[in-house]
Amino acid sequence: MATKGQGLLAALIALLVAVTATASDDLSGRWKIRYEVESGDSDDLTQGSVASLNQKDSTLQGRVTLGPRDDGFLIGCCESNGMRAAITFRHSPTIFIRLIGSCTEGELQGSFTASSSEGGFWQGRFRAIHLTTGGEVINAEAGADPTSFAPLDIDLRPKPTEFLDPEANWSAQQDSGVRKTFVISYKKNTILMLRNKPFVWQWWL
């Protein structure tokens, strides 16, 4: 019969094994994706993809190519050894790919569906090979794929936050001769500052 100490040791070993397995299942890095189209016909899909992924907890995000295209954005999630992801190629023709699969021994395998803004639809199986993890080359195929990705579109680039102070704005307009009309101009990433709430409510009501 096992002693209490032996039972505790076994539990600690099991915990270490679980932690090690979780760490090794991190999907961050670069992947080579091959699609096996079972329904539909697409030259781009037969050329495959290269994906650069970043995993944070159970969330996935990254950039993806498709044949000669380099405008793909990926979002997804992973639980245990399973993953679900959606890839959107934003430029014309728009293409949307959904991946559902699992990770085994450094490879992702599963099914995919894809559609395009031109009316195309494809489905089949996919297989992805892990090429690098955080800069470490783990597969010889990585050297044959020096892929770069298109710069972020202008509307996706982070912009500095602007703070709008209504009282200061009103005072400036008073000095310039505006007496009856109070104009507030908004831009993207603008935050309205409310220092004197009763004063602001006078203008909104």
Taking Cα atoms as reference points, which of 154, 156, 176, 173 lies closest to residue 164? 173
Same domain, 61 and 132: yes
User: Does a structural domain hold residue 13?
Assistant: no
Burial class (CB in 10 A: 0-12, 13-18, 19+), 35: buried
> Does residue 153 contact residue 159 with C-beta atoms inside 8 Å?
no
For residues 160 and 35, what is the distance between their CA atoms, to the nearest angstrom?
40
User: Does a structural domain hold residue 156?
Assistant: no
Instruction: Work out the average pLDDT over 88-117.
Output: 92
Same domain, 85 and 176: no
Q: What is the pLDDT of residues 57-77, one digit of tens each?
A: 999 999 999 988 889 999 999
Same domain, 112 and 76: yes
More confident residue, 28 or 19: 28
Look at the chain and report how many structural domains it folds into: 2
Say if residue 9's pLDDT is above 60. Answer: no
Q: What global pTM score does this model have?
A: 0.62
User: Does a structural domain hold residue 35?
Assistant: yes
User: Does a structural domain hold residue 196?
Assistant: yes
> Domain containing 169: what range?
162-204
User: Does a structural domain hold residue 178?
Assistant: yes
Q: Mean pLDDT in the chain?
A: 75
For residues 100 and 112, what is the distance between their CA atoms, to the nearest angstrom?
6
For residues 171 and 10, what is the distance between their CA atoms, to the nearest angstrom?
72
Same domain, 97 and 167: no
Say if residue 103's pLDDT is above 60. Answer: yes
Residue type, 92: S
Q: What is the pLDDT of residues 153-166, one digit of tens each?
A: 665 556 666 766 76
Report residue 106's pLDDT band, with 50, 70 and 90 as the boundaries: confident
